[in-house]
Structure formats: C-alpha cells, structure tokens
C-alpha cells in the first residue's frame, strides 16, 4: 500500500503590493499556528520533516509557503520586465499578505537564514500580533554574500547556487539530506537566489529594530549551528544580547539548514524553542 504523508498543499491567489500572486501553501497538523519561512532561493519543501513529525504536528498547525518566484509559486504578471530584487519592505509585504489571507491569529513565526532575519523585523513591528518568533541562523546584519556570479550568462546558475549553499551544511549532516537541499536549490529560477541575497546582504539591517522587541509581549528563541559560516554563532549571539529575555542555543554539529540537513539532530533544539514560545501545560 502507498504511504501518504499528512501534508496537504493548495494554491491561493492574493494581492501583494497591487499585484496578483498565485502562491503555493502546504501544511500539516492542528493547534497553534506555526508559520515557516524558507531560505533564500529555496522553497517550503525544506520543512517536510517538521510536517511529518507527530511531536510537532500534534501541537502545531505547521504552515509553509513558497515565496513568489520560488518553488511552486508563480511570478507576478509581466515579471520578465523587471529584475527580481527582494527588499526588506517587499519581503514583509509578502509575508503579511499570506499571513492575513490565511487568517492566522497570534502565530509563531519560524524562519531560517533570510527567513530567520526577517522574523526579527516582523517581531519589532508586529509583536502584539505574534506569540513569538523562532529564528534559525538568525542575524540582524549579514553583508558580504552578494556577488554578480550568482546570475551570470557564462555560469549554470542552478548548479552554482546549489553548490554555493552546499558548503553551508555541517560536514556531520547525512549526505543524503545535504544532497536533497542541493537539489531544491538547483531548481531555483534564474536570478532568484541572487535577488534574495540582495535583500539579505545589501538591503538588510535590523540592528536598531531589534532593540524594540519586548519579549514579555513576543517571545524570542534563537538557534544557530556551530558550523554555519554565513550566519555565525557570534552573529546570533549579538542578536540575543540586544533582546533582553530572548533564548539562544548553539546547535552542536549543525550547519545553516538544520530543518533539512539533519532533522533528527535538530528536533530536540526545535522542541525546546517551541516550549519556550508556547509552554506545554504541566
């Protein structure tokens, strides 16, 4: 007999900044909304292990979506007339549009890499609408990763971006999982990863914003892998130091993509972070 996973997927068409967008959303579980944001140039398939984990889905409605231009979502009409460049404000507008279209009440936001960055700005701006945030590989400022070769006519963009990010995995993570993440990256559209990294390394700076986060109103849990050289542990430690009441944990043996490169190793850290945001009744 076939083994069906508990994940369901569907499309929603919504307006974002005056443009119609066809967005792919998948989810699993019931309970408190846990809204997940994928990494640059990738898509919601990175969260498939979480969505198949009864320890998570027994307590949370886990929701993830593909950003416009990413994965199974469709670019906006006449997308070919402009170069894709994600910015802080356009990123916030996308997340808010999906969040509100789904009618999520006081969700917990979980994001990794650029997703882990933007949850900081969302917590500062909308903290009374959130239960909390879980920032994976989370930095308030991360210059230096943007370069022109990420979208260049002489280079196979999919293989370059996939291999560029492959090195961000821990050497101790199972190769089959590292290769799976590589495969998803290799499917990214032309210039999409570079457009995301423009946000992450050029436009992004939340060093002042994070000082506004009140953890009595919006709880904060931060997790970073010890082998992450893109968002180093020291960078996340700086975020934690600027947010009194936040919880930071170094993930031993982990890299930049914990939810997909080594989910069994990541799960205990994730459960601890979620218990911090939404403690279970004793």
pLDDT digits (tens, 9 = 90+) for 27-41: 999 999 999 999 999
Percent of the chain with pLDDT over 90: 90
Q: DSSP characters for 109-174?
A: EEEETHHHHHHHHHHHHHGGG-SEEEEES--S---S---GGGS-TTS-HHHHHHHHHHTTS-TTS-
Tokens 């199972």 sit on residue: 174
Position 158 pLDDT exceeds 90: no
pLDDT of residue 154: 80
What are the tens digits of pLDDT across the range 212-242?
A: 999 999 999 999 999 999 999 999 999 999 9
Strands, sheet with 32-37, edge to edge from the N-terminal-most edge strand: 8-16, 19-28, 60-65, 32-37, 108-112, 132-136, 219-225, 247-251
- Band of residue 14 on the pLDDT scale cut at 50, 70, 90: very high
Q: Which two tokens stand for residue 271?
A: 């459960």
DSSP tag of 274: H
Q: 3-state class of 85 per DSSP?
A: coil
Q: Quick check: 23 pLDDT over 70?
A: yes
Mean pLDDT of 248-268: 98
Q: How far is CA 56 from CA 14, 49, 178, 234, in A?
A: 28, 10, 22, 28
Mean pLDDT of the chain: 95
Q: What are phi and psi of 232, to 5 degrees?
A: -75, 160
157 — pLDDT class (breaks 50, 70, 90)? confident
136-145, 147-156, 211-220, 230-239: segment of lowest average pLDDT: 147-156
Q: How far apart are CA 201 and CA 157, in angstroms?
A: 19
The predicted model gives 132-147 an average pLDDT of 93
DSSP character at residue 245: T
Look at residue 21 and tell me whether its pLDDT is greater than 90. Answer: yes
CB 190 within 8 A of CB 157: yes
Question: So what's the pLDDT on residue 256?
Answer: 98
282 band by pLDDT with thresholds 50, 70 and 90: low
SS3 of residue 219 by DSSP: strand
Mean pLDDT (whole number) for 170-191: 96
Q: What is the third-level CATH fold of 8-277?
A: Rossmann fold (3.40.50)
């Amino acid at each position: 007999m076939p083994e069906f996973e508990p994940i369901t997927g569907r499309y929603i068409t919504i307006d974002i900044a005056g443009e119609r967008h066809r967005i792919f959303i998948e989810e699993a579980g019931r309970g408190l909304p846990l809204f997940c944001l994928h990494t640059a140039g990738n898509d919601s398939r990175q969260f498939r292990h979480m969505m198949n984990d009864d320890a998570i889905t027994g307590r949370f409605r886990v929701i993830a979506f593909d950003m416009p231009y990413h994965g199974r979502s469709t670019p906006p009409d006449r997308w070919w007339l402009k170069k894709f460049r994600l910015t802080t404000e356009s990123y916030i507008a996308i997340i808010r549009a999906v969040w509100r279209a789904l009618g999520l009440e006081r969700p917990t936001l979980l994001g990794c890499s650029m997703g882990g960055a933007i949850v900081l700005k969302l917590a500062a701006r909308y903290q009374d609408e959130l239960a909390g945030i879980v920032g994976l590989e989370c930095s308030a400022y991360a210059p230096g990763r943007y370069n022109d070769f990420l979208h260049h006519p002489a280079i196979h963009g999919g293989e370059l971006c996939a291999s560029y990010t492959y090195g961000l995995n821990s050497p101790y993570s199972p190769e089959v999982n590292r290769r799976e993440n590589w495969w998803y990256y290799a499917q990214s559209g032309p210039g999409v990863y570079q457009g995301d990294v423009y946000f992450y390394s050029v436009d992004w700076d939340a060093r002042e914003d994070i000082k506004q986060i009140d953890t009595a109103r919006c709880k904060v849990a931060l997790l970073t892998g010890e082998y992450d050289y893109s968002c180093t542990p020291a960078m996340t430690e700086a975020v934690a130091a600027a947010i009194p009441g936040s919880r930071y944990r170094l993930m031993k043996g982990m890299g930049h993509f914990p939810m997909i490169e080594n989910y069994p190793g990541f799960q205990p850290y994730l459960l601890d972070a979620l218990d911090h945001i939404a403690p279970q009744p004793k």
